[in-house]
Structure 1
Amino acid sequence: METNQYLEVFLDESREHLQAVNDNILKLEKEPTNIEIINEIFRSAHTLKGMSATMGFDDIAALTHKMENVFDQIRNNKINVSSKVIDIIFLAIEYLEEMVQSISEGKDGKKDVTELVKRLEQLVQVEIVPSASKQQDSKVEESVMGLDLDEYQRTIIKHGIRQGFFAYQVTVELREDCMLKGVRAYMVFEQMENHAEIIKTVPATEKIEEGDFEQTFSLLLLTKEMNEDIKKLISNVSEIKQIRVNSINLENVSEKEEETFDKSKEKKESIEGSPIQADSSKNNSSMEHGTSSGSHTIRVNLEKIDELMNLFEEVVVDRGRLETISESLRSSALKETVDHMSRISTQLQTLILTLRMVPIEQVFNRFPRMIRGLSRDLHKKINLTIEGAETELDRTVIDEIGDPLVHMIRNSVDHGIELPEVRKQSGKTEEGHLTLRAFHSGNHVFIEIEDDGAGIDQEKVAAKAIDKGLISAEQVKTLSDEEANKLIFLSGFSTADKVSNISGRGVGLDVVKNKIEALGGQIDIQSTKGKGSIFTIQLPLTLSIITSLLVRVLEATYAIPLSSIVETLLLDKEQIFYVNSQKVYDYRGHIIPLVSLSEYFHYQVGEKQGIQQEFYVAIIKKGDQFVGLMVDDLVGQKEIVLKTLGVYLGDVSGFSGATILGDGSVALVLDPNVFFK
């Protein structure tokens, strides 16, 4: 069977199930007797096993099967949830994540899981099944429609019926053109496991996992649901031709009330009052597509969204050209049409950008397990709180922000939060608190990492910076508290006595700072010695279409990201003075440097520029620093499509990309960060 067409779906759903197992394992460690959490984990593992077997990824299926056995024993009170069990399961999850990642990279997803499988098998105790009583009143036959029942299964059914459960045999027939039979069967299982206890299947579970059956399989189950509701639940799975539900009677084991639901017919013959009777054509449509009638979402490949974004970027470029043409022709009809197009395209732009936005929880989800491991390795007690995980950010930024956050969180855990005995001596609780939060503000997303640890020891930081030759003792005396805190971002700075495998691992926070600035963001610190620290990261919502200020330097046009500009000024020559041959300006009580772009880019300045009396200046800001960029003219504000400079020009200093203007010319986009170095 050709499965390549299903690979992307498999990868997406595998990651979702692994994340669900990961999240629920952390919950289970805190609530080890919560049967609902255990069942959720079991269902996710069960589904992942079935999908992997169907797709031919045997190592994933084998490892997941052993995990499933462990959770089956846990939910049957055969194994107690302990740190040892949790550690081994987390190791299995790491293996599975690596194998899924391998598949996504075009590899075979194979990994030697022999040793880990042995460790999982050692956890599983021998199940002792109590012998069932052979009382005469157990009238359940050993064979019900081909289901050969043993004594234990008959006893379960007997007790279930006595406690008010219904016993059903559900037979599902798939359509002849069904490709992934195993996957469809497990979708049925997943629907049933939320509402019923599956006692037995025909054929065996392993064969159903592999799709090793004709078109029909059966389930024997106990449930509180009525047979009509069972049908309705299963009907939500696509590629099903027919469903039969047989009630099993304890007294005479007769097969009665057999009702057939044939999805191949446009009008169904069902019992009166059945929920699936009304508006059959509508239900038929939704069921054929494998979704409920209330579903309003679809899964779209990210590459298609990127392609859509690239096409729309071309529309933005042409929109700019049309606006330029409209202004030059002075045609009211054309201007009206272009204005309408601009409004519609702006709305379309907002919609497409929204499609690219994904919740930051995709990054945050990895941290609870990481904190658990770090707490154990460092012998610290740490409580992680996550706030604002639903905050959305452009996928491009999401892909890049993960590693810097990992580095900073490790740094807070290693250097910030103290050991329990040290915290106790300081009058704190033994458990340290780490908060990771995200929120929107304007056109930016803010991420904060807050801890109640030791804070930054500015004297120690300054001494280390002086010792490494990063700053002089005289310069340290003039630093503000905020500037002193930021010394930890200097290249080559570290307070660690030896390289640690926990936080920096020999790499300083300067790498984190550079990465964030490359994304168009910035990072700030608030810290109080003995109380804790807050690291705040500011990031743009999107990196592809930005609002900029177009400026002219001689005959060239440049774009400056508007998010970096505080205001624009027109300065007289007398307002500019020099300090150590550097042009400066008194900006609201702050002496700030002025950078002439014509000089910065080594333009030949003519006589006119030499006797110029007025200068346009764009004041840009980064953190608490200001710089004034001197230009010849301000063209105006414009939304531009940011394009990379490519491999050959990618390392050119001073530019973050380029854009195409309305007249077809190319304008370079300035990187404001370079002017603060």
Structure 2
Amino acid sequence: MEMNQYLSMFIDESREHLQAMNDNMLALEAAPEDISIVQTIFRSAHTLKGMSATMGFEDLASLTHEMENVLDLVRNNKLAMDSVIFDCLFKCLDTLESMVEDIIQGGTGKADVSDLVATLKSIVSGDYRKADADSKPSKANAAAAAAEATGGLDEYQMSILEQSISSGHKAYHLVVTINSDCVLKAARAYMVFNGLENNGEIVQSTPTVEDIEQDKFDRSFSVYYISRLEMPELEHLIKSVSEIQSVQINAVDRDYLTKKSEEQKAIRKEEAKNEASEEKAAEVKQAAGNAKPAAANAPVANRTIRVDIEKLDVLMNLFSELLIDRVRLEQLAGELKNRELNDTVEHMSRVSSDLQNIVLKLRMVPVDSVFNRFPRMIRDLAKSLNKKVDLVVTGAETELDRTVIDEIGDPLVHLLRNSADHGVEPIADRIAAGKPETGTVNLRAFHSGNHVFIEIEDDGRGINRQKVLATAVKKGIVTAEQGQKMTDEEVYMLLFASGFSTADKISDISGRGVGLDVVRSKITSLGGNVIVTSKLGEGTKFTIQLPLTLSIITALLVKMGSEKYAIPLSSIVETSTIRRKHLRNMHGTLIMDFRGQVLPVISLSQLFEVPDYSEDDEEETEIVIIRKGEKVAAVMVEEFIGQQEIVLKTLGKYLTNLFAISGATILGDGQVALIVDTNALIK
């Protein structure tokens, strides 16, 4: 069977199941007694195992199979979760993720999982030992002992044994042990099974026949067996196979089966009791609003289809052309003044606007697709730092354009690692400061206008203004005199200077300020902005402002001479007109008084050297008030054309690093208008 056509589906679903297992493992770590979470993790592992085996990724299937064995014991109350099991399963998830990533990169998905498999097997066999005051070994051991006593027989198998005994056959329970130095255990077991099947019928084996054939057992296996052979003949038959160390044979009679039946009833009664209590607990949690993570839901539960992202890009490009033609038609209809044409164009405008909303929504992705990897990252980071850190995520359902989502992950990783490493204090320091020993890092996302804001806030030590200034002066970023005049927020922004660091010791995790210049440049390249607020001893907050989409924006078209420019509406505070005589020149910079505030004035015609226009020829000039964070400035233009939705186009690889130009758009008349980067205008 040709598997390449299914590879994309396998990768997508593997990622979903791995993310679901990570999320639910974190939930289980917080509530280790909640068996319903274990059931969810088990189902994801089982599905992933089946998909991997079907696709031929044997190492993936093997590792998930062993994880299944551990989870199966836990969900059946035969094993209690502890830190050893959690750490092992998390390592398994990391390995599975790296194997899937290898497949994505064109590899085979193979990896050395022997150590993890051995650890999982030792957990299943009970060979590992760890004292844990919070665990309940008595309950787990009792359930395990009861299950062992029944030999794993179900009602159907017990019925077969009972009918066979009634018909005069002999029934036995065999425990066969192979020599410890045997190289081919599976081959010896196969020879035993072959001899048994030639002289009777195997009712049940532990482990299963499939696992034994694949060498997935230690040295011993047990069998319930029906035959006409006497016990000495049966023992001779098994010992005729070489490298068999011992054989234990117990006769199975009616008394034996009665005893097993009673034990099974007791186990079922206990399981029913546990399930009832679990269902009750789940109802209480749901009533309290503590629903399980969304990732716990099965991926196939939603009525969705997968669409290749390239097809969405093609759809967006086609719609961009349609939008340009729509604008041209609106202009022509206005010039011709034909009523029927106007009605048709207006209807087409409404339909295309609805289509535009749908196309944009198709490209919108919840930030949860980025946020969902952070709880696990913070958990591992806190453990390595010997700290206690809670990550509180809110607004994960907030949507952003896919192009923004693809780029925002790395900056968020860096800021979160900074908060956990250098923001949140060690446990001893927090206790000494009168704080809870567990630090909190809040990750929030929310809409505001045409922007999405992402906040990362910790309740740690805050930023030391004097330390930041001393480092900035030492590195020549500012002078001591300049530093004394700076506000706290301006000082904190020095952290984003290239090569800046206040860390006394730079760790391999992060150093506050190390790489923050890269964070800012990435966010700025997305048309966003980042600001820092902090209070010494109380914590720090990074606020990132991002545009909703990078594809279609609403802009104000302005004219200067024969050229047209587009200014994004999201950065405009308001527009106005001012007389030239009200402008002042201060140290070579034009300024104006605007609502009691002194604003710098920027001349676009001078900035872009427009050849056939000069503001000096006019008594009045139109101005556009723009904002970047807390900073405001005025931009002089010749004429307002009007508000219009425009499609952003890149300038190509030959026109790069143009100052204050972020791209271009094609207008309805076919003319190209440059898009002004207002962030670059305000320094």
Cα deviation for residue 397 of structure 1 reads 1.3
Contact 2:502–2:512, Cα closer than 8 Å, also in 1: no
CA distance, structure 2, for counterparts of residue 488 and residue 505 of structure 1 = 8
How high is the TM-score relative to the length of structure 2? 0.74
| Code of the aligned partner of 2:421 | D
Pairs within 5 Å for 1:601-640:
601-604=608-611, 609-640=615-646
Say which one has the larger Rg: 2
Q: 1:132 to 1:430 in 2, by over 3 A?
A: closer
Secondary structure, counterpart of 1:124 in structure 2: helix
Secondary structure, counterpart of 1:453 in structure 2: coil
Q: Which of residues 120, 136, 141 is equivalent to 2:160?
A: 141
Contact 1:499–1:506, Cα closer than 8 Å, also in 2: no
CA offsets per residue over residues 415-443 of structure 1, 9 Å max, x none? 21111111111111111111111122222
Q: 1:143 to 1:473 in 2, by over 3 A?
A: farther
Q: Which of residues 494, 497, 503 is equivalent to 1:490?
A: 497
Contact 1:500–1:506, Cα closer than 8 Å, also in 2: no
Instruction: State the partner residue of 2:58.
Output: 58
Matched, 1:74 2:85: no
Q: 1:151 to 1:590 in 2, by over 3 A?
A: farther
Cα deviation for residue 295 of structure 1 reads 6.4
Contact 1:643–1:658, Cα closer than 8 Å, also in 2: yes
Q: 1:584 to 1:656 in 2, by over 3 A?
A: same
Instruction: State the partner residue of 2:48.
Output: 48
Secondary structure, counterpart of 1:501 in structure 2: coil
Cα deviation for residue 17 of structure 1 reads 0.5
CA distance, structure 1, for counterparts of residue 345 and residue 78 of structure 2 = 72
CA distance, structure 2, for counterparts of residue 201 and residue 322 of structure 1 = 74
Instruction: State the partner residue of 1:350.
Output: 357
Instruction: State the partner residue of 2:554.
Output: 547
Q: 1:207 to 1:404 in 2, by over 3 A?
A: farther
CA distance, structure 1, for counterparts of residue 502 and residue 571 of structure 2 = 32
Secondary structure, counterpart of 1:668 in structure 2: strand
CA-atom RMSD in angstroms: 3.3
Matched, 1:130 2:142: no
Unaligned runs of 5+ in 2: 127-143, 164-170, 174-204, 215-256, 259-297
CA distance, structure 1, for counterparts of residue 470 and residue 17 of structure 2 = 49
CA offsets per residue over residues 297-353 of structure 1, 9 Å max, x none? 333333322322222122111111111221222222111111111111111111221
CA offsets per residue over residues 436-485 of structure 1, 9 Å max, x none? 11122222212111211111221221222112111122222222232222
Cα deviation for residue 612 of structure 1 reads 2.4
| Code of the aligned partner of 2:653 | V
Contact 1:407–1:504, Cα closer than 8 Å, also in 2: no
CA distance, structure 1, for counterparts of residue 155 and residue 51 of structure 2 = 43
Cα deviation for residue 601 of structure 1 reads 1.6
Cα deviation for residue 151 of structure 1 reads 8.7
| Code of the aligned partner of 1:111 | A
Matched, 1:318 2:336: no
Cα deviation for residue 663 of structure 1 reads 0.1
Q: Would you say how many aligned residue pairs link Structure 1 and Structure 2? A: 547
| Code of the aligned partner of 2:628 | K
Secondary structure, counterpart of 1:311 in structure 2: helix
Secondary structure, counterpart of 1:647 in structure 2: coil
CA distance, structure 1, for counterparts of residue 347 and residue 502 of structure 2 = 59
| Code of the aligned partner of 1:87 | D
Instruction: State the partner residue of 2:307.
Output: 300
Instruction: State the partner residue of 1:194.
Output: none
Cα deviation for residue 585 of structure 1 reads 1.8
Secondary structure, counterpart of 1:140 in structure 2: helix
Contact 2:366–2:399, Cα closer than 8 Å, also in 1: yes
Q: 1:556 to 1:324 in 2, by over 3 A?
A: same
Cα deviation for residue 652 of structure 1 reads 2.7
Q: 1:348 to 1:40 in 2, by over 3 A?
A: same
CA distance, structure 2, for counterparts of residue 304 and residue 84 of structure 1 = 46
CA distance, structure 2, for counterparts of residue 513 and residue 66 of structure 1 = 44
CA distance, structure 2, for counterparts of residue 64 and residue 360 of structure 1 = 29
Matched, 1:532 2:539: yes
Instruction: State the partner residue of 1:459.
Output: 466
Q: 1:578 to 1:8 in 2, by over 3 A?
A: same
Contact 2:558–2:566, Cα closer than 8 Å, also in 1: yes
Greater mean deviation of Cα atoms: 636-645 or 128-137: 128-137
CA distance, structure 1, for counterparts of residue 605 and residue 212 of structure 2 = 73
Q: 1:119 to 1:543 in 2, by over 3 A?
A: same
Instruction: State the partner residue of 2:433.
Output: 426
Q: 1:639 to 1:151 in 2, by over 3 A?
A: farther
CA distance, structure 2, for counterparts of residue 58 and residue 505 of structure 1 = 43
Matched, 1:576 2:583: yes
Cα deviation for residue 613 of structure 1 reads 2.0
CA distance, structure 1, for counterparts of residue 676 and residue 308 of structure 2 = 32
Secondary structure, counterpart of 1:482 in structure 2: helix
CA offsets per residue over residues 560-593 of structure 1, 9 Å max, x none? 1110111122221111111221222223333322
Q: 1:659 to 1:106 in 2, by over 3 A?
A: farther
| Code of the aligned partner of 1:29 | E
Pairs within 5 Å for 1:150-169:
none
Contact 1:78–1:125, Cα closer than 8 Å, also in 2: no
CA distance, structure 2, for counterparts of residue 423 and residue 85 of structure 1 = 29
CA distance, structure 1, for counterparts of residue 327 and residue 628 of structure 2 = 29
Instruction: State the partner residue of 1:3.
Output: 3
Instruction: State the partner residue of 1:168.
Output: none
Greater mean deviation of Cα atoms: 104-113 or 486-495: 104-113
Q: Which of residues 649, 653, 659 is equivalent to 2:665?
A: 659
Contact 1:320–1:661, Cα closer than 8 Å, also in 2: yes
Matched, 1:511 2:511: no
Secondary structure, counterpart of 1:60 in structure 2: helix
Q: 1:205 to 1:339 in 2, by over 3 A?
A: farther
Pairs within 5 Å for 1:130-529:
130-132=148-150, 140-141=159-160, 296-504=303-511, 507-529=514-536
Contact 2:396–2:445, Cα closer than 8 Å, also in 1: yes
Cα deviation for residue 92 of structure 1 reads 1.9
CA offsets per residue over residues 206-258 of structure 1, 9 Å max, x none? 999xxxxxxxxxxxxxxxxxxxxxxxxxxxxxxxxxxxxxxxxx99xxxxxxx
Secondary structure, counterpart of 2:125 in structure 1: coil
| Code of the aligned partner of 1:492 | G
Higher helix proportion (structure 1 or 2): 2
User: Sequence identity of aligned pairs in percent?
Assistant: 53
Greater mean deviation of Cα atoms: 101-110 or 537-546: 101-110
| Code of the aligned partner of 1:9 | M
| Code of the aligned partner of 1:419 | P
Secondary structure, counterpart of 2:343 in structure 1: helix
Greater mean deviation of Cα atoms: 396-405 or 646-655: 646-655
Instruction: State the partner residue of 2:31.
Output: 31
CA distance, structure 1, for counterparts of residue 617 and residue 154 of structure 2 = 112
CA distance, structure 1, for counterparts of residue 321 and residue 510 of structure 2 = 43
Cα deviation for residue 142 of structure 1 reads 5.6
Matched, 1:91 2:104: no
| Code of the aligned partner of 2:620 | E
Secondary structure, counterpart of 1:107 in structure 2: coil
Secondary structure, counterpart of 1:648 in structure 2: coil
Cα deviation for residue 609 of structure 1 reads 4.7
